[in-house]
A and B are shown apart, each in its own frame.
Chain A
Amino acid sequence: MMKKFLKKSYIILPHILLAAVLASTALQAEFPKDTTGFTVLSVLLAAVEAALIIRRKKWSAYGITAIVYGLILIWSLYPVINGRESFLFPPPQRISAIFVLDILVILKSIVSSLWLLLLSFVIALILGIGLGMICGKVKRLQNVVMPIARVLSPVPALIYAPYVVAVMPNFTLAALFIITSGLFYPILINVIVTLQHFDPKLRDASDVMGLGLKSTIVNIYLPYCMPSLFNTLAMQISNAFLLLIGAELMGMDSGLGWYVKYNSDFSDYVRVIAGFIVIGMIIAVVNTGLQKLRAKILLWQSAEQ
């Protein structure tokens, strides 16, 4: 009886909180003058609600949604408790309004940042995997490359950023160089170390087949390195964003890092927080995409690995 009641309340809780959020923000909206913020927030909340309905079979979905709604509720009630709107901590409907007001700038920033990130990842992956694989096959080269990589890789790429900016013809190339070099070493070292511990049974099996260099790399080394490469990539995603934002702060005129920096120079904290939220969501989307890709490519791994 009691258990059933608790279960019911757990499932209903997010919906009650949602109603409270809507009520709180609706009462605060300045009808009819400015309803944009309220409308956008409602659309965003509807998206969260839709996500909950899609995952309604999952027990944890209700808890997560309830926490999200709860936080938004406290946030939206802050001006009421405080007596007036806070300058540093603007209410959610103001920030939501930015997603419409600044939609073009934000989209442009997203495209610019993601493009830079994608390009750096592709270059770092090609160079890191390529050199790593060759080092795996040519031990002498490895003995030269590895000590250098071990010294250079712990140096944060942002440290030499000012110098790179001075040397490179434009900011975009400088940013590209910084992000790429920050990603390159972890990937290279990961590939080399993984291949150093190459399973001797598989080594024998591929050796007796007499595979050539290209076939060994493509059919044996590359798939062998995939699991640990995905781990490295997952870890490097946040590092990459750090480098991206850092690089953009140095003087680029587009991108999410630039957007946050530019607006904080004007103390426009509504836009700064909107920028935070966009960056958070982009990271979440990129991570989810990576997880999906991983599940697809690593189908061959047994479940417990």
Chain B
Amino acid sequence: MASIEFKNVDFRYNNNKDENILHNVSFKIKEGEFVSIIGGSGCGKSTTLSLLSGLNHASGGDVTIDGKPVTGPGKDRGVVFQHYALFPWMRAKRNVEFGIKQVLKADKKTISEKAEKYLELVGLGGKGDLFPHQLSGGMQQRVAIARLLAMEPDILLMDEPFGAIDAKNRVALQELLLELLEKEEKKRSVVFVTHDIDEAILLSDRILFMRDHEIYRDLKVPFERPRSREEITVSNEYHEFRRELFDLFYDNDIHQQEKADEKQTAKVGRFSIGSAVGAVG
């Protein structure tokens, strides 16, 4: 129902045609698979999601879902953005209800009850009557998550959804997401951007590591489902895998530093040539 494929995808912004934001990105996500994308800031994670959500279009290559090219947003996909994206003029519950209404034709009561249920699941029972500006950043993000889950899309696109959320609720939400996905019969695919290595290991089947606008590594997470945090974190395998990912980040830092240095020397080099020419002239 929801397999995803990126085939040699390039992406450039219209206002900056010289810079490749994504370069030759290829990967496949099977139906029901949970894939995390990690990598340094600015490497193109959010952009990858925006191509999948249909907000941006590939400059080259193909983005397909079930073999059909993505031409725009669709109800088969749901998105939680890196930034809060609630409608400020709707109360928290109305935001969730509005999402549900887009995908479900049902009477008011059903929709209201469903919204209530999901708000409760994300720990915001009783807060439904507040406007977004009356909620903290983390609470707003949880409403956005409730909206996404309540819309029950085939594909969940989540961009650092738990980034702004406090430790306690964060653990609860990770558990909630695992539980919802594992107990359901319908197999949903998830593309999940995160900066948190432990979160990526706990939740995903595979982890894509991006570097320099490319997929640098495609790693399979070595744990079976259903899994629990308690079980996997005590194993040796967990720590080895975690070390591998840390090394990737560490290498990436060195790599970025070297690139920056190179740019610097290139600049200095040009200057010295310029002044040499000037001196000769």
Contacts and interface: CB of A to CB of B under 8 A. Distances in A.
A210 B86 CA distance: 15
Contact of A209 (B102, B131, B134): B102
Contacts of B98: 209, 219
B36 interface: no
A220 B98 CA distance: 11
B47 to A, nearest CB: 13
Contacts of B90: 300
B73 A202 contact: no
B73 A209 contact: yes
Contact of B102 (A211, A224, A301): A211
Interface string A204-226: 11111111000000011001101
Contacts of A219: 87, 98
Contacts of B85: 201-202, 204-205
B118 interface: no
Given A207-B73, A209-B73, A210-B75, A201 B81 contact: yes
Q: Is the interface of B mostly helix, strand, loop or mixed?
A: loop
B88 A300 contact: yes
Interface residues of A, number: 19
B89 A226 contact: yes
Given A201-B83, A299-B131, A207 B55 contact: yes
A82 interface: no
Chain B interface bracket (under 10, 10 to 19, 20 to 34, 35 or more): 20 to 34
The A interface is mostly helix, strand or loop, or mixed, namely helix
Interface in B97-155: 98-99, 102, 131-134
A211 B101 CA distance: 10
B73 A301 contact: no
A208 B78 CA distance: 7
B93 interface: no
Interface in B14-28: none
Interface of A: 201-202, 204-211, 219-220, 223-224, 226, 299-302
26 contacts: A201-B83, A201-B84, A202-B85, A202-B87, A204-B81, A204-B85, A206-B87, A208-B73, A208-B77, A208-B79, A209-B73, A209-B99, A209-B102, A210-B72, A210-B75, A210-B102, A219-B98, A220-B87, A223-B87, A224-B89, A226-B89, A299-B131, A300-B91, A300-B131, A300-B132, A302-B133
Q: Top 9 nearest A-B pairs by Cβ distance?
A: A205-B85, A302-B133, A223-B89, A300-B89, A208-B79, A208-B73, A300-B131, A210-B73, A209-B102
